[in-house]
Amino acid sequence: MTDDPLPTTWDPAAPGVLRLPSGRLLRGRGVLKPLPPGPRPTFGVYLLGRPPKTSGWEARWVRWPDFRLPSDRADAADAFREAWERCAVERVELACAGGRGRTGTALACIAVLDGVPAAEAVAYVREHYSPHAVETPWQRKFVERWSG
């Protein structure tokens, strides 16, 4: 947590914000796009093939090449759990280059942690975050097999 006087979680109407069934909020975005206006994250999980540039807030890198799956699935699972726990009281964002495939896959896995059945998680994220989330068949299967 920070001494930031801004709200501790996201505005549910802000671009890229996903409301989980529990009411927790996460923001997904693409790091190649400009940072959205408004409050900054307090924690970010960056799903990239290379370490991200420093952001000015606490961050975690998950090695995840574009259009693929996480290089270390145990590390990814730990990062997803941390993001889910922290988004209850903090502004947490998940981001890959474009904000669709890897970000959507991670958001779907976190939705499973929040109670969405794994078989329905991709559809949930596509409906509530982006219709283009989870880009590849193997990303979809990764979510369907996800147990957290």
Put simply, whether the predicted model's pTM sits higher than 0.85 gets the answer yes
State pLDDT tens for residues 80-120.
999 999 999 999 999 999 999 999 999 999 999 999 999 99
Six token digits for residue 142 = 């990764």
Give the residue extent of every domain in the chain: 18-144
Q: H or E segment at 79?
A: helix 73-86
| pLDDT tier, 147 (very low <50, low <70, confident <90, very high otherwise) | confident
Q: H or E segment at 60?
A: strand 58-63
Give the distance from CA 108 to its chain's centroid: 8
What is the Cα–Cα distance from 74 to 62, expressed in whole angstroms? Answer: 10
Residue 26: burial class (beta carbons within 10 Å; 0-12, 13-18, 19+): buried
Work out whether the CA dihedral 96, 92, 9, 114 comes out positive or negative: positive
Query: 18-144 belongs to which homologous superfamily?
Result: Protein tyrosine phosphatase superfamily (3.90.190.10)
pLDDT recorded at residue 2: 44
Listed residue (48, 98, 94) closest to 68, CA to CA = 48
Which is more confident, 3 or 125? 125
What is the Cα–Cα distance from 37 to 24, expressed in whole angstroms? Answer: 20
pLDDT recorded at residue 81: 98
What is the identity of the amino acid at 66? Answer: D
Query: Above 50 in pLDDT, residue 1?
Result: no
Query: Above 90 in pLDDT, residue 3?
Result: no
What is the Cα–Cα distance from 141 to 122, expressed in whole angstroms? Answer: 10
| pLDDT tier, 6 (very low <50, low <70, confident <90, very high otherwise) | low
What is the identity of the amino acid at 148? Answer: G
State pLDDT tens for residues 32-65.
999 998 999 999 999 999 999 878 999 999 999 9
